Each structure stands twice: as structure tokens, then as C-alpha cells.
Structure 1
């Protein structure tokens, strides 16, 4: 049985389309859907639905050699779209960051060490002009003259004086031991101040440098005050307790310098 599906110049009525749709139902063995009628006869959705409803109202004779299936819902407007299975998405791996003590417990002996913490990123210094250093030299010059003369003068009042450090070797070579006071106290104060403010030493060394620098500056100021008070009072020999304190300064400066140097290298040794 053949059915003409060619379209005419004029719209076809529902009664004219009904026999052809009936033939289509006989061929496929079921009531065609609206979309099938639209594709087969090139008509719009309202007319395809009207023809389908008219066909549903009539009994359909199904041949014996075709298996019958459940009648479609008369109010079915479209065939459901197939549901695609969901594609499983694997989650992105999350990096595991462990502290150093946990890494030592997880990694067995004999394996190379693994860094637990990421390497620190050094921040680039912001571009800018550096502070000029020459004003410091200009300021330090008169301060050096005053400090040097004060310490040497106080050394003379406390028993420091000219000595011959190389007897029998260079008898004419002499040295005024009073210069050991400004060199020892003031140079150590500058050295400790540098270690404190530079941030290049371990925390313990930085704390020691901080307090020893402050103490050295205070001792230097008290030494200048003591010298000028003694000279202003016309005293040619310092009291015993001032002499005792001044005599201990070279030893104290040596101990503090050695301790600061040791603490500064403590981090590198560890």
C-alpha cells in the first residue's frame, strides 16, 4: 500500500490527511506521534495534532504478523529526548602540605628528604633613591674628635698612659694605652648597632646586639660626662671607683665582641 506524501499548493484539510495518516499507522503498527506526522506530511504542529486526535478516535486494524504495543498517549505532544549518562569527573588532586616533623614521620629512612614548606619567594625591593651616607661622615668627624679627646683625657686621669709594648725589641716604640678606650667602646657600639639594625644575624644575636649597643652608648656618654666634670672641678686624678670602672672597659668590650661574633655564626653552624 502506498500513500502519496507530496504537498499541494493549498493547505490540505484534516479529512484529506486522515486516510494517509491511517495508512502510516498501518505501516508502523502504532499511532504515529505528532512529530512523525509533521515530518511525513510537511504540515504544522496544530494540524498534525488535529489529524492525530481524529485518528485516535477511530479503531485501528493491526495485522497479525505485527506485534502490538501499548497505545501511545493521545495527548503526547513530543517524544522525550534520550537522557545521556552523566560523565564522571575526577576531582583535581589537592597538594598535601605537612609540617617538617610530620614529614619526618611519614618518610622512611633511606629516602631523600622532602621539603615540607614551599620555598619562600623573595620580594623585590621597590625602586627608589638610597639615603646618602656622606652626611653621616660629616656628623661623625666632630663627634670623633670630641669622643677621642674625652676618652684619652679620662684615661690619663685613671692611670692610662704611655707604655713601651716592645722592650728589648723596639725600645723607642711607645704607645699611649688611653687610645684603647675610644677604640674599644665606641667601635663596638657601632658594630653592635649594625648587627641589631641590619637583620643579618639570628634572633639571639640580634637581641644581644641591641642591648649591648644601647649599653655601650650609655657607657660612652657617662665616660664623657665624667671626664668633663673632673676637668671642670680641677681634679687631676679620678676617684678609685671611676678608675675601677674605666679599667674594666677593655675586658668587657672584648667579652661582648666575642659573644656577639659567636652568636652571629650560631645560625650558620646549625
Structure 2
């Protein structure tokens, strides 16, 4: 008659032979879940069994001492209590070397000194980036004068001009319209003046006489031509709409004077930003 199975759970020592057989079949250490499934144990006991298997396969920390010489002539056999490790290849230990690891790039960057920014340097940088006072209004004046000048030049091209020898009271045909080339030329003069002003104020010219002479020779003809053409077109437009002779004579000077003053302000503020 066979004895009934024990109702108490088996101890870890009783389960170790089955655990070693499982490791031998797998050729490696089984996972904790595999031990729980195969041996039907709980999570905690499976962890203890896995730690015992790791301890069995841990490599020796030092070379064992050589056995003592046998003077009796009897040779000792293998230890019957030794645990066989059939099919399990122990992991070789990692050998420590004297070569230090290469430095990390982040550590190298962090080790570089960071230049200190003083309050005076920060304030100087803010002053350099801040535009000179009134420079925005100078651009507004140049833009406003240019827009009015372009509008007057374009509108003047739409005023029909009698051909040579036309009788008094001549009127243009109903389908008459100005030439596209005439409109393009009328727009060119104020734009040319604006580009010349930008070249004059944006470029860091020298302080010598020849630099001043080059600026005057380059900008003065463009400014004079644009001012004369704008004046004639605007005065002719005012006369066409029946303005009095005084308004026709001095009205265009407001537009040209605004552009001259705005251009001069851009030149002055540009020199201040350059010397700061």
C-alpha cells in the first residue's frame, strides 16, 4: 500500500534536483515564470530556486589550492556530494582592465568654460540692436512721399496730351489710354530715388573726401531727376484739376521736401548706429 502524498509544499532543497534537470534541458538558466510553471511553485519560492541555480553556476573567485600530496598511495575519488552541471555553460566573468573608458562628448562640452556675460556687455548688445530714435518715422516719410509721387506720376500719364498742330478744344478719343511703357517709366523715378537712399544709408561708407564725393556724384543726379519729374507731374495734375496758381507752384514742394528730409534723417541715424 502506497503512502498518501504529503499535504505540505515541498522544500527548496527537494525541488533543486528538478530545477537542475530543467536548466540542463534548456541549456541555460530558466526564467522565474518557467520555474513556477514547471515546478508548480509560487513566485517567491521560484525566485529562491533561481538564486540557488545562479549560485551553483557562479564561477570561482580564486584558483583553488592544489591538493596535498597523497603519501598513502590512495587516490581520492570524486566528491559524491558535488552537483553536476551537465549541459550548462557558465558565463565567463568580466575581466577588469586598467584602461579608463573614453570621456563622454557631453562631459567634454560641459567641462568647457562658459564666458560670463556682464550686465554692461548685455546692455551694450541691447543698445546695438535697438534702432536709432526716429528712424522708423524717417522710413514712414520716405515711403509716404514715394507713394504720393508714384500716384501723381501714374495719374499724370492718364491726362491726354494734344498732338502737335492740334486745333483748340482738342479732345482725346474715347478709347484712348496711356502706353504701358509710359506708366512703367512714371513709376521708375520714385523707386529709383528710394533705392538710392537705401544704398546711401545702408552701406558703411568711408569718412574720406573721395567717399563723400562718390556718394554725392552717385545719389545727387538720381535725386534731382526724380524731384524734377515728380514736381512737374504733380503740378500738372493740380493744374488739370483747376487748382490756383499758388497751389500749383508750391504744392509739389511738400512731397519733394518730405522725401528730402526723410532721406537726410535716414543718413543721420545710419551714421549714429554705425558709430555706436
Which bin holds the TM-score, normalised by the shorter protein? Answer: under 0.3
Q: Which has the higher helix share?
A: 2
Q: Does 1 or 2 have the higher relative contact order (CA < 8 Å, sep 6+)?
A: 2
Task: Please give the TM-score of this superposition, normalised by the length of structure 1.
Answer: 0.28
Task: Please give the TM-score of this superposition, normalised by the length of structure 2.
Answer: 0.27
Q: Larger Rg: 1 or 2? A: 1
